[in-house]
Amino acid sequence: MEIKVAKVRLVDILRKNRAEHGQQYWDANRVYREVVAAELNRLLLRVSMGLSVQAHLTLPDSPPVFHDDDYARAIAMISMSSDKDVSLDETDFEQFVENKWPWSFRFSSSCSNYSSSSSVSSSSREKKHDI
């Protein structure tokens, strides 16, 4: 199945989706950095106290990945079209309009690990005092 969408409307939708993605990414990235910093501070404290330190660093799950380039590419391609309307197949519609990209599940999962209301954030703060 294929549909035609007004180019201006599609670019507006992509910009909105891009902004939401960026907000989710930067929120999760901030918490991820806090978790990493807490672990490093815990190890530094152990070293300064003369306690043993693990041979390897235990960091949280992989950090969230910023997919801004995917949005930028889609916006640029659509903006460069000389047509007023753009044809979308189901895959394009799912990605551009519904904001469901091939990486969306991994991104959402990663961000949920590091949302500001996540238990990971609070447990890392508790861990900071657990030398």
Query: For residue 101, is it within any domain?
Result: yes
Asked if the structure places residue 25 within a domain, the reply is yes
- pLDDT value of residue 97: 97
* pLDDT at residue 117, as a whole number: 53
Strands 85-89 and 2-6: antiparallel
On whether residue 56 sits in a domain, the answer given is no
Q: Give the domain extent around 36.
A: 2-51+65-129
pTM for this one?
Answer: 0.78
- The total of structural domains in the chain comes to 1
d(Cα 131, Cα 51) in Å, to the nearest integer? 9
**Mean pLDDT, the chain, as a whole number?**
86
Q: Is residue 57 part of a domain?
A: no
Tell me whether residue 111 is in a domain: yes
119 domain residue, yes or no = yes
- Residue 59 within a domain: no
The span from the CA of 94 to the CA of 10, in Å, is 12
Residue 63 confidence (pLDDT) above 60: yes
Percentage helix, strand, coil, to 5, in the chain?
65, 10, 30
Checking if the pLDDT of 91 tops 90, the result is: yes
pLDDT score of 55: 64
- 58 within some domain: no
The answer on pLDDT for 118 being more than 60 is: no
Instruction: Tell me what percent of the residues of the chain surpass a pLDDT of 90.
Output: 63
Higher pLDDT: 22 or 46? It is 22
